[in-house]
Amino acid sequence: MTEEKKPVAAAEPQYNPPPRPAENFIRKPGAFRSGKIRSVLEMESTAREDASVQVAAVVAGESHGNRSFTHQEAEEALRTFAGRRETTTEKMIFTAEFEIRGEVTIHFRLLNKLKEDMLNELKQELLDFLRKTLGNSAIQVSSEVTAEESKAKPRTEQEKFEAMLRKNPVLKELKDRLGLDLVY
């Protein structure tokens, strides 16, 4: 008995569809939000708020014209803008002392160059917000660094003695009675 050998046919490739995800892995809309998605959603809500402010201004008869505004209105708009900022430094910049120069320039007095640089980075965003909120397309923002007056510390013995004399003038009399000299 001889067995006949049959040629082996090539196996047909089988297509296996990808497995379907289990129900517990299917995410419901809004269930997952990464930091980037969250920031996009926050930007959308901010845009909606800005649009509602703009619509309210148009309904009130004000458009992006050159409506005049008061210091109090500008302060309230800046406080709102500061509330939307993330860092404390940014919030400090927009709640800092300012004045209105001319009728349309908001001038900030900042304590250091770092804050001025941060203001310059955010200037266009601030201008857009202020122009929409206050209904004035001519608003400008300027700033200056006002250095705090720092008193130099006394370095020499003579400067130290003079500083102590300003606080307590009786020291001169004590120095003279005891015959003390400042030079060693």
Euclidean distance between CA atoms 172 and 152, whole angstroms: 22
Q: For position 59, what pLDDT does the model report?
A: 44
Q: What is the pTM of this model?
A: 0.48
20 vs 79 pLDDT, higher one: 79
Mean pLDDT of the chain: 77
Q: What is the dihedral of CA 69, 71, 110, 116, to 10 degrees?
A: -10
Q: For position 13, what pLDDT does the model report?
A: 64
pLDDT tens track for 155-176: 888 888 888 889 999 988 988 8
47 vs 113 pLDDT, higher one: 113
**C-alpha pair distances (Å), 40 with each of 32, 91, 149, 150, 178:** 13, 21, 43, 44, 76
Phi, psi of 136 (to 5 degrees): -140, 115
Mean pLDDT of the 113-134 span: 91
